[in-house]
Structure 1
Amino acid sequence: MVSLAFSTNAYTDYSLLEAVERIAGHGYAGVEILGDEPHAYFPSFDEQEIDRLATALADVDVAVANVNANTAMGYYDDAPPTPFFEPSVIRADDSARRWRIEYTKRAIDLAAATGAPAISLTSGQPVPGTEPAEAERLLHESLREILEYADEKGVDVGIEYEPDLLVGETDDVLELVEAVGHDRLGVNLDVGHAAVSGEDVHTAIRRAAGHITGVHLEDIVGGRGGTHYHRIPGEGDLDFRAIFDAFDDVGYDGYATLELYTYPDEPDRAARESFEALARYL
């Protein structure tokens, strides 16, 4: 049976420890850790911070579902207000790509330290001057090193596909998983990303069966082919009954994490209403 989790990336006006406590208070079994500012930005997230996090998790009896290493906004002094994925693992600039690989390893360290089964990572988007074929080569090269490290630590790496990125839909991520051929590589399946890509979400889940390391949940206005803006379940048009039936059909019994970073002013409402909307499907 799927367990519900909630991402701390909705609680960016709160400390990480406050976010964990609030999420647990809404009944969630798991919490996803934002591996970025203002929560766990790894260059400044030291052993003492990890110990405090472990204590907070134990105090409220909640598990870490995933370490979300999709963004690294803390890298920039003037990062834009919307999430983006630079520096990515497909940057042709060797120093920037090296920084991102090491950053991803620190996410793996945090997952191992907290008992999280996986981290999530995006491919990034090819920047001008980097042909898609070269970006794909760089992705494979980066993943080889990341996966070797992940295997040593006992942590899975889920690639989260997203429209307009190099790995942008289910076909892309499954081709990548097959081509790389490493047991630790899988899919962090975001149901909204599948929908806005024009896919049937329940079909995407069934196609990814056996490779799903984690799940992101949100609603999408317009459903299939709809607008990419994460909403509380019930505020959009996704069929969550069909989604949870698909999880059951493929035997997925991991965490499904609400990712509602779009509600920074109302994270408690987002957490509460999401749990109320989805608990019936568990």
Structure 2
Amino acid sequence: MSLHVAFCLWGLPDDPAVATAFASDAGFQSVDVRPGYSKLPDAERTLPVTCMAVAHLMPDGALLDAASEPARQIAVKHVRSGIREAQRLGIPDVYLAPPATPDAPAIAAYRESTLTLADEAQRAGIRLGIEHFPGRGLPTVRETLAFIAACGHDNLYLLLDVGHNQIAGESVAESIRAAGDRLQYVHVNDNDAQSDLHLGLLEGVQDEAWVSDALRAVVEAPYNGPVSVEVNMALDDPRASAASSLAIVRRLEPRV
């Protein structure tokens, strides 16, 4: 059985309809989207949507970890709207980036926002994930899982990004084992092991053995969701990087 491979539409400098058409033509099986995707006509939404980045396109000054209560509430309202849109579109998973800093006030504010949104998503029948992100308030998988555990909410999960693992020096296989049934979703990309470049697979420091091991860890986990290719729209040719990444997944994925 082959892995289900999705594509993050924000990896192209095109409008969502054009990006969706590319993903379909390239052979991706589903897409990850930003808020507002429901504005596309049904005829242009040609692939299933498996995840929404509900905190993308946040209004200026709005942060889930803001010290200002009004700024935080604007952010919560934005994400709540995204969750409701995801529900209308039948999207099973949505996710958040972590807080900007590990400072205690930021973590506390983010926790309050996240718990509110986890309740909202649960009522909508949608899982809410948190992405680990080097340089931010939850820089590692280990710290993100600890935060999720401390929140004590059964609708909080981990979105794992293998490129972020690479920067943090965390084993993908060990991270997946540690996440267990909290693993919500998986993004795949490459980088220089220092910056979050979102290169295509094998375009940075990865080699085939590293990618193969990461894909095997996904397949062997109690996880049946997609691996989603996330490239940077600023690359010289993000379409080529995306298509190449899909081909690499197909070539290196374990056969089970």
TM score, norm. by length of structure 1: 0.82
CA distance in 1, matches of 2:171, 2:111: 28
Partner residue, 2:191: 220
CA distance in 2, matches of 1:87, 1:27: 36
How far has the Cα of 1:267 moved from its partner? Answer: 3.0
- 1:248 and 2:249 aligned: no
CA distance in 2, matches of 1:99, 1:90: 11
Flag as ranges the 4+ runs of structure 1 deviating above 6 A.
none
TM score, norm. by length of structure 2: 0.89
How far has the Cα of 1:279 moved from its partner? Answer: 1.1
**Amino acid in the other structure paired with 1:65:** T
Out of 202, 209, 230, the residue aligned to residue 234 of structure 1 is: 202
Helix, strand or coil: the match of 2:216?
helix
2:52–2:91: 8 Å Cα contact kept in structure 1? yes
CA spacing shift, 1:155–1:22, aligned 2, 3 Å: same
Helix, strand or coil: the match of 1:210?
helix
Partner residue, 2:49: 64
Residues 46-70 of structure 1 deviation map (CA, whole Å, 9 limit, x = unaligned) = xxx626354422xx3x211210134
Helix, strand or coil: the match of 2:228?
strand
1:54–1:114: 8 Å Cα contact kept in structure 2? no
**Amino acid in the other structure paired with 1:229:** L
1:69–1:104: 8 Å Cα contact kept in structure 2? yes
Out of 133, 136, 145, the residue aligned to residue 174 of structure 1 is: 145
**Gap runs ≥5 in structure 1:** 41-48, 77-85
Out of 73, 80, 84, the residue aligned to residue 105 of structure 1 is: 80
**Gap runs ≥5 in structure 2:** none
CA distance in 1, matches of 2:190, 2:117: 31
**Amino acid in the other structure paired with 1:196:** I
CA distance in 2, matches of 1:113, 1:186: 21
CA distance in 2, matches of 1:54, 1:270: 28
CA spacing shift, 1:134–1:246, aligned 2, 3 Å: same
Helix, strand or coil: the match of 1:2?
coil
CA distance in 2, matches of 1:135, 1:8: 29
Helix, strand or coil: the match of 1:208?
helix
How far has the Cα of 1:263 moved from its partner? Answer: 4.1
CA spacing shift, 1:158–1:5, aligned 2, 3 Å: same
**Amino acid in the other structure paired with 2:77:** E
Out of 32, 40, 55, the residue aligned to residue 52 of structure 1 is: 40
CA distance in 2, matches of 1:6, 1:181: 31
1:231–1:262: 8 Å Cα contact kept in structure 2? no
Helix, strand or coil: the match of 1:186?
strand
CA distance in 1, matches of 2:199, 2:215: 17
2:65–2:99: 8 Å Cα contact kept in structure 1? yes
**Amino acid in the other structure paired with 2:200:** I
- 1:149 and 2:120 aligned: yes
CA distance in 2, matches of 1:156, 1:5: 17
Partner residue, 1:81: none
How far has the Cα of 1:247 moved from its partner? Answer: 0.9
Partner residue, 2:111: 140
Residues 209-255 of structure 1 deviation map (CA, whole Å, 9 limit, x = unaligned) = 21111111101234xxx443111112123311101111122121101
1:118–1:158: 8 Å Cα contact kept in structure 2? yes
Helix, strand or coil: the match of 1:247?
helix
Tell me the percent identity.
Answer: 23
